[in-house]
Amino acid sequence: MPTALVTGATSGIGTAIALALASAGYEVTAVGRNRDALAQIGAQPFITGLCLDLTDRERLHSAISGLDVDVLVNNAGIMPPLQNFCEAKPEDIDAAFAVNVTSAIELTRLVAPKMRRRGDGHIFFTGSIAGHSPFRNLAVYCATKAAIGGFAQALRLDLAESGIRVTEIVAGRVETGLYNAIVSREAREAMYAGGTAVQPRDVGAMVLAILGLPSSVDVSRFDILPVRQPTATEVSRKG
């Protein structure tokens, strides 16, 4: 049975990707910190929950070094407070880079050499349109997503000769819990109203479609946006 490791699998896009992979016959390790959500997803067939703070390097090493997976999905991410950069707190900047960039690179460093020895594997990164277009009040988030996009594209070149595929998921607005801690419920409802968000399961379906392509084909990145968000910054509503 092929195996997969998905980070950020306790919510949103990661949950959907983990479920999609399990339904396609992968044995999935689902990573997150929220124990209730881990118990829920771990109760699904072919999914095992792994409680892990990805920024805890020591725990990351001990939990992952024994694992050998066919598919790695570096998906966990956080959004720092929406504010003018002049008001940003150093601890929020550090936390965003620790989760969105450093932990994904470190996890890849633990997993990719084994893929290279085997001569196959697929590594996904959940990037963002924020890594490719500027957004007001999101300078740090944009910087983390630009960093992970750059890493993914360059990593692809290092791994191509070994037959390993690398894909950057360039997501537009997806209806998840990403803004829960930083935006009011009313504002989130307005953000997602009128078909202006992709659903997490749509991203899961794309991951499966890409994995189903011949192993000689690499989708180096794909952009997935709501039809009503035709560009990074333009959103049109129904009615």
Name the nearest CA neighbour of 126 among 106, 114, 138, 144: 144
Nearest distance, CB of residue 214 and ligand NAP, angstroms: 27
Report in angstroms how near the CB of residue 162 gets to ligand NAP at its nearest.
26
Helix 200-211 to helix 12-23 angle, to the nearest 10 degrees?
40
Catalytic residues: 141
Task: Pick between residue 116 and residue 183 the one whose CB is nearest to ligand NAP.
Answer: 183
Question: What's the CA gap between 114 and 146, in Å, rounded?
Answer: 26
Return the number of the residue (163 or 177) whose C-beta is nearest ligand NAP: 177
In the complex, least distance from residue 104 CB atom to ligand NAP, rounded to whole angstroms: 9
C-alpha–C-alpha distance, residues 39 and 208, integer Å = 24
**Residue ranges of the alpha helices (H) in the chain?**
12-23, 35-42, 57-64, 90-97, 103-118, 139-160, 185-192, 200-211
Nearer to ligand NAP, 27 or 94 (CB): 94
Q: State both tokens at 103.
A: 């932990």
CB of 239 to ligand NAP, least distance (A): 22
Q: Which is nearer to ligand NAP, 122 or 173 (CB)?
A: 173
Are 7 and 73 in contact by the 8 Å Cβ rule? The answer is yes
* 2 residue type, one letter: P
Task: Give me 85's structure tokens.
Answer: 């950069």
| Under 8 Å between Cβ of 158 and 167 | no
| Residues 59, 65: Cα–Cα separation, whole Å | 10
Shortest Cβ 118–ligand NAP spacing (Å)? 26
Which residues, including other chains, have CB under 8 Å from residue 98's CB and lie 6 or more apart?
Answer: 55
Neighbours of 117 (CB within 10 A): 10
Nearer to ligand NAP, 165 or 173 (CB): 173
Site of interaction with ligand NAP (CB under 6 A): 7-8, 10-14, 32-34, 37, 53-55, 75-78, 99, 126, 128, 171, 173-174, 176-178
